[in-house]
A and B are shown apart, each in its own frame.
Chain A
């Protein structure tokens, strides 16, 4: 998925301006709607910027406040990382399991594939509303079903231990996109590889670990990065489903920023918060990329070591 070996174009282009024309719309969009606002918000982060009244330049005070005087900053950061630590592996594994299931040679897999993907087409608002009802501890369907098999379900949205689990479950419901990406990749593995392995006497489990996993490592890398980014930015669900509670157990960083801006009216401080999140994401992504050289195998290496 990530990187296929590039073939150099066999011609040199005379008209040098052409490619720039093709990327021009993107460049305009990027400059006006991304880079501009990005810069503005960096400037805002150096100000005490209330909703009403004059903005006041305060240097790095917003950042100092964030690091030294706001315990909620650390709490939210920790909770968000905790969420990412549960969500990312769970999501990856379930996506992979589902993808493997729908690559099995059984009847009707196409229908299953479609059904598994359906939750991923639903908006975050809809997900919050639907799961809010399912998780209601008193009147929710989930606890009712659990009670039928003799389990007393927890108070999902009241008990801080479980609330984060509800967010994980509700987010993981949309695992379909990742499943599809794995699926297309697994489907792309040449069957000869498996045939050769079977002849060598490798069972399905060994085939999975020796062929499937190494081949799809670039895709795993891609999925790890996108889901880490998504997890760290999670906002819609905590805003609409739990409101950050109970006991601030789901007061994710995204909500922290959102509330500072739109509830407490501290636009400068919120900009500083948001920029910090941006930097964290950049660093994390870079670290994951760095680590990838040890566990991601690209096509070229595969061929060298392969059986072809």
Chain B
């Protein structure tokens, strides 16, 4: 009701910011690091993760099932994919086959709500694997294409409680800003999928609103670009209060230089770090009131 009232005010032209989101942290949902030694194993695990997610899904809302397949890679002259956390290389065709099994698993075990199944990868050592900036652009492009392919599969099978998108763990420390920005630009050029940035603003300043330096030659503006330009949406890792401070600087920089409207698609949290998942969401929200969507993706929960 409060939001509708806000919308009324908005339509009347008396407000100009993103409306208030939830006041308290949502229940966390589990994100998975994908380890596999074969395509068939990857599919069977993805099916199980989709089913697990559906059974445990809290509430009746739309939640993100993030499957992180490792680092984006060009596997040969015309094949794109990822190298996973066990050092196994999977093509995008193999990854989307696994994602389709996750969709099947969610469908078979569906209890309530809906799901956005997200093809995640990262910018880990793109350059040192031999990828050029053009290769990274195509990696983003094809990743978005595969998310759309997954959505087509969901629609064709009557999985109306599902949709699909893409994501990347974009970490300043893992590769340069120029090549990482190309992942986002490629996704934007394909034009279909949201591109969640579930990475960090590592090394960025914790106060102010300027284009200050971050790790590895990045600047605040680079983090702003990879997290909010085009179809990008920030789902930032908030593990310590310093992370929330850094992302607040990114938001302020964007709003100050790019015309406002920056908001967070939610928070990525973890166990075993400084902030418990709910505290992570609450800390970011306390610094960006009403600008954090009620999504809390958690590795280790």
Q: Is this pair of chains taken from one and the same complex?
A: no
Q: Tell me the A residues contacting B by CB distance below 8 Å.
A: none
